[in-house]
Structure 1
Amino acid sequence: MTGERYRASLNDGREVWLDGEKVANVATHPAFRGAVDELARLFDLQHDPDLRDVLTVHEPEAGTRVGWSYQLPRTLDDLRARRRSTGVWMRESWGQHGRSPSFMANVAVGLLDFREHLECNQAGFGANAVAFYRHCAANDLVLGHALGDPQIDRTTSPVDDPDLALRIIAERDDGVVVRGAKQLTTLAPLAHEVLVYLSASFAQREAEQFVIWFGLPLATPGVKILCREPLGARPYGHAHALASRFDEQDAMLFFDDVLVPWDRVFLLRDGNLARVGLGRINAWSAAAGHIRYQERLRTLLAVGTLLADAIGASGLRHVQEDLGELASYVDLVGYFLDAGEARAETTDGGLLAPGNTDASRVWSAQVAGRAVEIVRRIGSSGVLMQPSERDLAAADLRPYLDRYMRGANLPVEEKSRLFRLAWELTADSFGQRQDLYEFVHRGDITRNRINLLRRDDLGPVTDQIRELITRPL
């Protein structure tokens, strides 16, 4: 993919809605243009002679050169090369692209790896997964995924109210017809295709109509994309350097009796298989998520350090302690990535997958808010009150700004820009969205903790304790 091809590919007739109006062309609309241009820039990096071999590789299964995230890993060197490649994507986006093309390409790899299980669900589904992977990899497509069900009424079941979940309403010779909605499909207006999966909570027999995995172009008739309010456009002079480039958008997808052709269906009416498959197909994307999160934490640490320097607070013991805590988070994510590689195992699909580091998902969600809080506390009220570029250019104001709003080691213009970056990362709508994303995108933290508890084998130590308390201590 090149940047030019990417921009052109989004003008495909998709039905995108923003603030009550239908968007004619996502690539040129002011609400999306900055994010589109940023993704286009990242695609062009794949053609940079200095980065070509870092970002792309020949993959026999796809029959062409592909991005490393679409490569099928068979060795530890493959996993490490994928880590280096994803690291470039994530550093270039300051760790702000949660659902970057690099992330979702890994899910397509996972789908292919799970092909034999899908084939057992229904003849042809495994082959469909392979064909979907080849199509996405060979064309270097941007994928979104639709997982969550609408938040309507958590006290009842979709069996009683079918609108609570996407459902199958008909099976025909040419495919399956689905009706309903999927909530919070990140990157939907900027992606080429959407992968719909999860369905793991609908294992009971009467809920089988809600269990389906499939992939579709977002321009498919009947698919409507409702976007949330953009976070990068503002009417006044405060620049939003991050939101204007990295607001990857979140959307509701409405499926208005959409036909999913049989060759695009991967799993049908098997909640237990969906539950098993959920972890399997995300084995590589989970590692990509860690790489991205490490870059986000590194960005927060760097901004926090510069804030402290700018106001002469870097020598304060409590500030050093807080920044040291944030530095430990950066290192710990690296340890999780190392552990995944050290525990790597070959799957029954024949690929080498990073080892299980489920505890890191719980830890990451737990510390996400604390990482933001550290930066916000260092900047304090200065994060809120900074002059705009037009303020800086106002001759009558400038003497006061130079005198009262400068930094300990920075002129006023650089200090104001630094603190506005901190505002974007920690406090404004973009920063709050990123913080919320860190908490929710790894799944329900309560469920994840319970799963860790149930999986941990405490038998030997509990037996030791039981034996110890059979006699006086």
Structure 2
Amino acid sequence: MIRTGDAYRQGLQDGREIWMDGERVKDVTQHPSFKPIVDVRARMYDMAHEARYQDRLTYVEDNKRNTIFYKPPRETKDWSDKIAAVDAVMQDIGGVVTRVGDETIGEVWSLMDGRDVLAEFDPRFADNVDRHVQNIFDNDIFHVSANTDPKGDRSLAPQDQDPDMMVHVVKETDAGIIIRGAKYETAAAYADQAFLKPTVGAWTNETLSDYAVGGIIEMGAPGVRQICRSSFAGRTNPKDYPLANRFDEVESLVIFDNVLIPWENVFFYRHTKAAQFVRATLHRYSAFPYVHRLLYVADMMIGAAMFNARQTGLEKLQSVREKLADLVCYREGINAHLTASITLAEKSPGGLLMPNQSMLYAGRIHACANLPAMMHIARELCGGQICVTPNAAAFEAEGSGEWLKKFYSLNKQWESEDRRKLLAFARDLLNSDYAGHRLTFVQFAQAPHFNHLNAVYNAFDFSGPLDFVRKAAGLSDQVMGTGK
């Protein structure tokens, strides 16, 4: 049941309408802005067929070989297997990618937990969830999610402005519902399908709303067109920007121009309570792989900073060691929250094993909120040369190359070419346009920071601290009944 890289590439030849920099993209598998990241995803598919990786990336059940990434987690080992699989991929590709399917499949698992809620409004929708979970699993589909709308003037209700500012249903037919609007989404241009999710704040007190809609969108469906931001890939020499040219995950404004969602692809429609429930539980699984990726970002910062300190012997200085220790504490804090969330995992309403929600969401706050400060510490440790070092062409050219080799060679262990590569890597990781883009992505990819904090508040059990203080302060039992 696992796909190959070629099968994935062939699946993208579905006539999808993609635009970038004012031009129609004829083939996302060959376009210089998309080919590197398409190749990374294809590599993930091919790894599952190789003997050295197959046991780490797949498993056999009912005589079928399936991907570890899409296996619904029911025991602790399932999460350990996913961690090992992600590690195999990141080590093989030599970088970090986020939107490659395993992060967004968790949002579909959340639908499994909410199928009874959906069934209250329409039993067909709950059956649709079951079918699509199995379809993604059986066919190894590259599944992403259509996230946030343009929203327009947020001081106005959707119906008081251009209604297309938020995705909404304009018509029902025997075949399904017709939608209009747009969503921003990462990786949609080279994915198979997307989970269309309701936006935050699309309604107020309504019981029913045309804006409360969710389901599966095929990326090659009629009326779906994508306008992508400019890519960082292909604009610069990969020797100077090794990360941007290989791992840029391109975002799209995905436009739905009277797009049909067949009834069998609808998860919920019009019922605001169903949509609110789905929105509130979306990240109970997907936050884990999302935060897990930041563990590798931390490793890259530590590695780049330590190499830069060691090449000149600065790691012996106490002040340098303290800053390196700050990076290590950041990294280990992420690791601790992830480990604890699995060790203390909870059974979900749908019978799955979900990470301990309080630990997981607190870990997301730690990983996301502290990333800007950690990047700055890594910059300090790498030094000013990451912003003043000439490009690879200058090192290779006659006339300039010999001087650069002289001044960038430290000793036999650190000659100019390795030093140039390290500085270029650190620049792309910390200082480049790509680095700034990735930092913003981390801050908003799942939700804004205030939503992260709200998730922590809602997931934490306040009864323990309250009862401890009640006893310590000698308060009466009745105070435990006040408040939320």
TM-score of the aligned structures, taking structure 2 as reference length: 0.90
Q: Which amino acid aligns with 2:404?
A: L
Alignment partner for residue 421 of structure 2, among 417, 421, 442?
417
- Is the 2:395–2:405 contact (alpha carbons within 8 Å) kept by the matching residues of 1? no
Q: Which amino acid aligns with 1:110?
A: S
**What is the DSSP-based 3-state SS (H/G/I as helix, E as strand, rest coil) of the residue aligned with 1:350?**
coil
1:17-36 Cα shifts (integer Å, max 9, x gaps)? 00111111100111111111
Q: Which amino acid aligns with 1:118?
A: L
**Cα pair distance change 1:139/1:452, threshold 3 Å:** closer
How far residue 203 of structure 1 moved from its aligned partner, in angstroms, is 4.7
1:362-389 Cα shifts (integer Å, max 9, x gaps)? 2222111112112212223211122333
Alignment partner for residue 460 of structure 1, among 464, 467, 472?
467
How far residue 436 of structure 1 moved from its aligned partner, in angstroms, is 1.0
- Is the 1:308–1:378 contact (alpha carbons within 8 Å) kept by the matching residues of 2? yes
Partner of 1:398: 401
**Cα pair distance change 1:236/1:50, threshold 3 Å:** closer
- Is the 1:90–1:291 contact (alpha carbons within 8 Å) kept by the matching residues of 2? no
1:53-86 Cα shifts (integer Å, max 9, x gaps)? 21012356xx832211211222222222222223
- Residues matched between the structures, number: 465
Q: Which amino acid aligns with 1:459?
A: L
- Is the 2:4–2:46 contact (alpha carbons within 8 Å) kept by the matching residues of 1? yes
Partner of 1:148: 148
- Is the 1:93–1:246 contact (alpha carbons within 8 Å) kept by the matching residues of 2? no
Structure 2: distance between partners of 1:90 and 1:272: 39
What stretches of structure 2 of length at least 5 have no aligned partner?
A: 476-484
1:73-472 equivalence runs, <5 A: 73-94=73-94, 96-150=96-150, 152-161=152-161, 162-183=163-184, 185-206=185-206, 208-235=209-236, 238-356=239-357, 357-407=360-410, 409-453=413-457, 455=460, 457=462, 458-460=465-467, 463=470
What stretches of structure 1 of length at least 5 have no aligned partner?
A: 469-473
Partner of 1:471: none
Which range moved further: 241-250 or 442-451?
A: 442-451
How far residue 92 of structure 1 moved from its aligned partner, in angstroms, is 3.5
1:177-214 Cα shifts (integer Å, max 9, x gaps)? 1111112x000111010111143533534472111111
**Cα pair distance change 1:93/1:436, threshold 3 Å:** farther
Structure 2: distance between partners of 1:67 and 1:90: 16
How far residue 216 of structure 1 moved from its aligned partner, in angstroms, is 1.5
1:5-27 Cα shifts (integer Å, max 9, x gaps)? 12222111000000111111100
How far residue 94 of structure 1 moved from its aligned partner, in angstroms, is 4.9
Alpha-carbon RMSD across the aligned residues, in angstroms, is 2.2
Structure 2: distance between partners of 1:56 and 1:305: 35
TM-score of the aligned structures, taking structure 1 as reference length: 0.92
1:301-320 Cα shifts (integer Å, max 9, x gaps)? 11111122234422222221
Structure 2: distance between partners of 1:372 and 1:121: 47
Partner of 2:58: 56
**Cα pair distance change 1:401/1:304, threshold 3 Å:** same
How far residue 444 of structure 1 moved from its aligned partner, in angstroms, is 1.9
Which range moved further: 205-214 or 225-234?
A: 205-214
How far residue 260 of structure 1 moved from its aligned partner, in angstroms, is 0.6
How far residue 106 of structure 1 moved from its aligned partner, in angstroms, is 3.1
- Is the 1:90–1:292 contact (alpha carbons within 8 Å) kept by the matching residues of 2? no
Partner of 2:482: none
Structure 1: distance between partners of 2:421 and 2:410: 11
